Amino acid sequence: MSENYDLDERAQILFRHLIQSYTKDGLPVGSKSLAKQSGIDVSSATIRNIMHKLEKLGLVDSPHTSAGRVPTQAGYRFFIDSLLEVGELGKSAEQTLNATFSGDKTSNDLIRSASGILSQMTQLTGLISVNRPARVNVRHIEFMKLSDRRILVIMVINSDQVHNKVIQVDRDYSDLELTEAEKLLSQYLIGSDFSSAKKKLHEEIKRHKDDVNSIMASVLDVMGLVCGEDSERDSLLTSGESNLLQFAELSDINKLRDIFATFNQKRDLLHILEGCSGATGVQIFIGSESGYNVLSDCTVIGAPYRLGNDVVGVLGVIGPTRIAYEKVIPAVDLTARLLSSALNTQK
């Protein structure tokens, strides 16, 4: 929460208009411009005095190249906590979101759609983390021969998560051999938790040193990756990274390179989103509140989505600090609620 700044109604009105103006064009806001926008019947000198007070409180700053003011990180935090009036999304946006999460879609499709629609609606970068389930139940395993000694492994885990992985083998295998491998893997894995069944399968492979078991060993390695044993427990999907190019404050090539490297590396963003997992609604990290210098000019807004009573991930957006919070916050909130509803009503 922000500090409890002692601002009268006139100062609050001017500060709100300053935020709105800077959000729109990213330019420092002068006293004359504020007087015109706010409609308050006071002189420019009075407005300058109020701006001076806001600057002393640390809510605005005056760039060296301009007499106008811009909001600080503390200013945005105060605005969000005390002055922000969150609006409605509008019928058109709500219809778009409802359409996105309707129809017969798998969990993976719903999750991917959430990141994309958020990016599209907000013109920011959409984020969504996916917590890998603690228990992985295998429902189906199938092999398909490809060219160049490659085999397509088709796996269905839990309710509907389909994973297709290609493995490279050292010789050509007959259809009969592949069928035998499918049967043995199915015998141990289907209906069982993967982690517990894997140990028994490795013991079976050691007892039988034939070529078919070499296929199964490769499949188990691939499944270990799919089931999260050899990677980060959480994964991250992003959409609309190029949307950040439209903001002048993020256009420095070195700054963009560092931000995009953070997208690729994923760990830091996952850590930030993890901070939203315990929230009852939307959580907002402004600038250094994220704990990462590379995101000092950015805001991350996230909200958890649930399967039953369990949080299974966090979705949100990342953009510059001067985003339209009154529009982005309800978009993130409604998307999280609709995704949760869609996941919980799947057959």
pLDDT at 308: 81
What is the edge-to-edge ordering of all strands in the sheet holding 150-157? 138-145, 150-157, 161-168
pLDDT at 169: 76
pLDDT at 61: 93
**Residue 60 and residue 110 in one domain:** no
pLDDT at 211: 55
pLDDT in tens, 183-217: 877 887 787 766 666 667 667 666 665 555 666 66
Q: How many domains does the chain have?
A: 3
- Report the half-sphere exposure of 224 (CA within 13 A, side-chain side): 14
pLDDT at 81: 93
Cα(184)–Cα(193) distance, integer angstroms: 16
Residues of the chain with pLDDT under 70: 1-3, 65-66, 132-136, 158-161, 193-199, 201-202, 204-234, 346-347
Domain CATH number, residue 152: 3.30.390
Report the candidate in 284, 273, 270 with the shortest Cα–Cα distance to residue 321.
284
Q: What number of other Cβ atoms are within 10 A of residue 294's Cβ?
A: 14
pLDDT at 206: 65
Range of the domain at 336: 91-132+233-344
335: buried, middle or exposed (CB in 10 Å: 19+, 13-18, 0-12)?
Answer: buried
pLDDT at 132: 59
The verdict on residue 2 lying in a domain is no
Domain CATH number, residue 259: 3.30.450.40
**Residue 120 and residue 142 in one domain:** no
**Residue 118 and residue 151 in one domain:** no
**Residue 274 and residue 340 in one domain:** yes
Residue carrying structure tokens 């500060």: 15
196: buried, middle or exposed (CB in 10 Å: 19+, 13-18, 0-12)?
Answer: exposed
pLDDT at 218: 65
**Residue 157 and residue 44 in one domain:** no
pLDDT at 175: 82
**Residue 207 and residue 303 in one domain:** no
**Residue 20 and residue 155 in one domain:** no
pLDDT in tens, 27-52: 999 888 888 887 777 887 888 899 99
The verdict on residue 3 lying in a domain is no
